């Protein structure tokens, strides 16, 4: 094609929509007829506006990149795939469903999502955390208006403040009039000839601020906490979006969580399991005494009521499951070995009686719990 729209706007062929928009705004301020009334600048202003009309529309830009001329196609009408827009025709006859008139510059800000890692204890009991976030806030220099001090917005000379321009096209239905957002003012109906130097006309700037987050008891990995109105402030004084905080619970070196239940493995000596004993277990609630009855076998479970995880959005807590693993001594001195042999003889256990295996099936609890769990 003879006209290089990318070169006219001074952008690369892979430029983003935002880069194209910024380049057009800069050129429009330089070439606008009110600023440069001479015919040469006026002609260039028309070319730049045409380039923006094509490159700001994804469908027209794709057609242009493929070698077509979307502006000529639009003027030509007809059934060809280079410009016939049945949506425009229906819109002209039936009013379409789009907004008419200039659109508001103030728009709602975007929502934001951050991830926060917390300890298991914070997830069980809840806690308060300070969050530092980088976000958009109202520009104090222009009070979110987007205009430089002492200046105001001006009515767009291209659309006369309507925010849209109309075109007459020929189609199989005859001549129809279509409307589209004004390329000079982006549909706002006004322009900002002197943008605020702090926010470049956007009405907001980025800054770092600190928020206080209340983490409720019972949160788990994947839980999202919504902070209404704490997201990014919208352009030109628009309302702020929401901030979502996604919780990630760090792994604990002793306890494993399953829903609102906590599990741990405690290793006890063979003699303690045989004779019974009491021991102190360091739980998330502090030291808790548990009783091991005489004759305890490896794999048995003790239940500590009410010391599991909190229940999100409801009262109460789950339970703590203490899985016992009996440890057989591996190093015996001669005196200890003699005593055990005497004990085995008294119980007639010098030979092994083969019977039904009591081994835990593959994939049982202890194959799932981590070996990092240690006795307290």
Q: How many separate domains does the chain show?
A: 3
Q: Which region, left, alpha or beta, applies to residue 230 given φ > 0 means left and ψ of -120 to 50 means alpha?
A: alpha
Please state, in angstroms and rounded to a whole number, the distance separating the CA atoms of residues 57 and 179.
14
Does any domain span residue 376?
no
Same domain, 154 and 170: yes
Residue 375 lies in a domain: no
Residue 341's pLDDT is what?
Answer: 85
How large a percentage of the chain has pLDDT more than 70? 82
- pLDDT, position 88: 41
Same domain, 103 and 92: yes
Same domain, 44 and 8: yes
C-alpha span between 207 and 210 (Å, rounded): 10
Mean per-residue pLDDT, 75-81: 39
The predicted structure's pLDDT at residue 347 = 81
Residues of the chain with pLDDT > 90, as a percent, come to 42
Domain containing 58 equals 1-83
Sheet-wide strand order for 320-327: 256-258, 261-269, 320-327, 301-304
Q: Do 33 and 179 belong together in one domain?
A: no
**Which pLDDT does position 76 carry in this prediction?**
45
Are 30 and 24 contacting, i.e. CB atoms less than 8 angstroms apart?
no
Rounded to whole angstroms, the Cα distance separating 29 from 191 reads: 10
Residue 127 CA neighbour count, 13 Å, CB half = 14
Last residue of a domain, one of 43, 63, 83: 83
Q: Which helix (H) or strand (E) holds 247?
A: strand 243-249
Residue 170: pLDDT above 80? no
pLDDT digits (tens, 9 = 90+) for 197-237: 999 999 999 999 999 999 999 999 999 999 999 999 999 88
Sign of the C-alpha dihedral computed for residues 282, 286, 292 and 297 taken in this order:
negative
Q: pTM (2 decimals)?
A: 0.59
Residue labelled with tokens 């291209």: 158
Judge whether 171 lies within some domain: yes
pLDDT exceeds cutoff 90 at 100: no
Residues 364 and 264 in one domain: yes
Q: Quick check: helix, strand or coil at residue 198?
A: coil
Domain of 318, CATH number, reads 2.60.260.20
Considering all CA atoms of the chain, what is the largest pairwise distance in Å, rounded to the nearest integer?
A: 117
Instruction: For residue 60, give the CATH number of its domain.
Output: 1.10.287.110
Query: Which pLDDT belongs to residue 86?
Result: 41
Helix and strand tally (H, E) in the chain? Answer: 10, 15
More confident residue, 88 or 108: 108
Mean pLDDT of the chain, nearest integer:
82
- 219 with 355, same domain: the answer is no
What pLDDT is attached to residue 358?
A: 45
């Amino acid at each position: 094609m003879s006209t290089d729209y990318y070169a006219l706007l001074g952008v690369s062929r892979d430029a983003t929509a935002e880069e194209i928009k910024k380049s057009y705004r800069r050129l429009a301020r330089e070439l606008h007829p009110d600023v440069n009334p001479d015919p040469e600048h006026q002609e260039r202003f028309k070319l730049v506006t045409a380039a923006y009309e094509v490159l700001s529309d994804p469908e027209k830009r794709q057609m242009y990149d493929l070698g077509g001329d979307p502006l000529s196609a639009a003027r030509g009408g007809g059934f060809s795939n280079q410009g016939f827009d049945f949506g425009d025709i229906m819109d002209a006859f039936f009013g379409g469903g789009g907004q008419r008139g200039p659109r508001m510059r103030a728009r709602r800000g975007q929502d934001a999502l951050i991830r926060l890692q917390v300890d298991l204890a914070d997830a069980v009991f809840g806690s308060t955390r300070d969050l530092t976030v980088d976000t958009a806030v109202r520009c104090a220099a222009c009070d979110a208006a987007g205009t430089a001090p002492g200046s105001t917005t001006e009515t767009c000379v291209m659309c006369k403040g309507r925010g849209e321009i109309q075109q007459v096209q020929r189609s199989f239905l005859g001549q129809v009039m279509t409307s589209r957002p004004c390329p000079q003012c982006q549909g706002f109906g006004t322009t900002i000839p002197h943008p605020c130097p702090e926010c470049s006309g956007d009405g907001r700037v980025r800054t770092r601020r600190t928020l206080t987050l209340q983490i409720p008891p019972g949160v788990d990995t994947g839980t999202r906490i919504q902070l209404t109105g704490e997201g990014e402030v919208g352009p030109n004084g628009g309302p702020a979006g929401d901030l979502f905080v996604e919780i990630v619970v760090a792994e604990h070196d002793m306890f494993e969580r399953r829903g609102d239940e906590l599990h741990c493995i405690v290793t006890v000596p063979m003699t303690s399991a045989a004779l019974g004993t009491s021991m102190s277990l360091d739980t998330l609630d502090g030291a808790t005494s548990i009783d091991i009855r005489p004759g305890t076998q490896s794999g048995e479970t003790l239940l500590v009521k009410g010391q599991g995880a909190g229940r999100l959005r409801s009262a109460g807590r789950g339970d703590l499951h203490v899985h016992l693993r009996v440890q057989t001594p591996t190093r015996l001195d001669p005196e200890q070995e003699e005593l055990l042999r005497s004990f085995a003889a008294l119980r007639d256990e010098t030979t092994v009686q083969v019977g039904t295996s009591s081994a835990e099936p593959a994939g049982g609890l202890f194959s799932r719990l981590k070996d990092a769990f240690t006795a307290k």
